Amino acid sequence: MPKIIVAIDGYSSCGKSTTAKLVAKQLNYPYIDTGAMYRAVTLYFLQNHISSTNKREIENALSQIQISFRRHPELGRNDTYLNGLNIEDEIRKMYVSEKVSDVSAIAEVRHALVAQQQRMGKSRGIVMDGRDIGTVVFPHAELKIFMTADPLIRAQRRQLELLEKGELIGLEEIAENLRMRDHIDTNRAESPLRQAEDAVYIDNSLMTLDEQVEMVVRLADERITSSLRSREMKKAK
Ligand code: DC
């Protein structure tokens, strides 16, 4: 079977990662959470007081950063590692969310992470989610999804997610953080969040998780079949 790239982009907290993870499981593909990579760099910048305007300092910091993903032996989830340390829980905290859009707007940061993401998907057969996957990282992905949901629903989902991790944050604070991140993510000069022309638009406000996953897997199956057909046609020529 030909392997395809599934690129899922969209606004903060619209369920991209949850959907992408389950889609990857059904397709038996690895899943890469690129937001986690930007969060890891943000954590490093915060811990090491890296200025977001000093180009040399940024480039030097980036050369010190190694990001990887490893399976958690008990929880079965894919955890993010920064220079060999598990930072999965730390990068989801609010103080990282407050800074991540600023750090991910830095051109040098984007160039470094996009290059790593392209290496990860070199042999295809991958599900990746983020803000610029279908537009910049893999503009030739076979399946592109642009996902969104009502802002209030997104804030409520995010609040529940944080609560499950023991962080109790008011709905208004979360909604404000999402508004700010959406604004920075869509207005930055370097690869802003936008829907790729050939992306399938999904508003999941009124959809269940199962429905979303089923829809994306069905689309992926269609793309795999058409890749197979065009491969066979090429062979027959
Ligand atoms: O998906 P997330 O909310 O964990 O992403 C955190 C931030 O990282 C988000 O506000 C914007 C940035 N990001 C990005 O600029 N490009 C990506 N491909 C993924 C995330």
Contact call for residues 207 and 14 (beta carbons, < 8 A): no
In the beta sheet, which residues pair with residue 6? Answer: 127, 143
DSSP state at residue 218: H
Sole residue written with tokens 């996902």: 147
Task: Decide if 144 contacts 199 (C-beta within 8 A).
Answer: yes
pLDDT in tens, the chain (237 residues): 899 999 999 998 899 999 999 999 999 999 999 999 999 999 999 999 999 899 999 999 999 999 999 988 888 788 999 999 999 999 999 999 999 999 999 999 999 999 999 999 999 999 999 999 999 999 999 999 999 999 999 999 999 989 998 999 999 999 999 999 999 999 999 999 999 999 999 999 999 999 999 999 999 999 999 999 988 998 898
Which tokens go with 57? 């300092």
Cα 166 to ligand 1 centre (Å): 22
Which numbered atom of ligand 1 lies nearest the CA of 188? 15
User: From ligand 1's centre to the CA of 129, what distance in Å?
Assistant: 9
- Measure the CA–CA gap between 203 and 15, rounded to whole angstroms: 10
DSSP H or E segment with residue 233: helix 209-236
Is the beta carbon of 9 within 6 A of some atom in ligand 1? no
**Residue 229 and residue 131: Cα distance in Å, rounded?**
30
Cα 125 from chain centroid (whole Å): 16
Angle at 102 between CA 98 and CA 107, to 5 degrees: 155
Q: Among the atoms of ligand 1, which is closest to the Cα of residue 132?
A: 18
**DSSP string across 45-59:** HHHTT--SS-HHHHH
Report pTM. 0.94
CATH 2.60.40.10 fits 5-232, yes or no: no
- The residue whose CA is least distant from atom 14 of ligand 1 is 131
